[in-house]
A and B are shown apart, each in its own frame.
Chain A
């Protein structure tokens, strides 16, 4: 059974750095073609892709947010960490992590439940 779960602070202050952890099970991030990505959704809004890290440690970032983002992985701990610097109230959103498999669907096929992050002083 494939599961992903996001964890991190529910409230951050403007200008602070957000650190979110995705803990997963049921698959390996060392397997060829597998990746884990982050996607966010503001309240009542649409989905926005943020970042993706592949099994070979290759990384991709949203062009509009790339300078603020960093994604890392710890396959031995089955974790992927996303950091986002200089948080602003417009970054208030539910943050999801999801598995990506380039060799089959080439899409995000399993998602976590998401974690709501509010940015406010």
Chain B
């Protein structure tokens, strides 16, 4: 299985300030088709997960442009340019490169200082 690790596990942030979450994979997430299937999901308290970013850096429909993704190979980053109150929740990276076993990271909790 591909193992994803996230740092930090908890991130208290001041409103209006940036936040950054790292996701590292135990092996390269580059698929044989040349794409890298690493995504980011947000889970607000009491809500189901919501897709934010797919294929490293593509924002899903309706996602604010303060969210951005970057990275390559085994190292990826989600950045929130200016944290708003509605951004509180847990953020997960996920890989769908290995079609025989999709995996999620352990999650990073973002809350307001």
Contacts and interface: CB of A to CB of B under 8 A. Distances in A.
A93 B100 CA distance: 23
Given A106-B55, A107-B54, A107-B96, A112 B48 contact: yes
Given A112-B48, A113-B48, A114-B48, A105 B99 contact: no
27 contacts: A37-B102, A46-B92, A46-B106, A47-B49, A47-B92, A47-B107, A49-B94, A49-B101, A49-B104, A52-B102, A60-B101, A63-B100, A63-B101, A96-B48, A96-B49, A105-B51, A105-B55, A106-B96, A107-B39, A107-B94, A107-B96, A108-B41, A108-B51, A108-B94, A109-B54, A110-B51, A111-B50
Contacts of B41: 47, 108
A81 B107 CA distance: 28
A74 interface: no
Contacts of B106: 46
B100 A46 contact: no
Interface in B29-62: 35, 37, 39, 41, 48-51, 54-55, 58, 60
Nearest to B107: A46
Given A47-B49, A63-B1, A96-B48, A109 B104 contact: no
Interface residues of A, number: 23
B101 A62 contact: yes
A56 interface: no
Contact of B99 (A46, A60, A112): A60
A46 B104 contact: yes
Contacts of A63: 1, 100-101
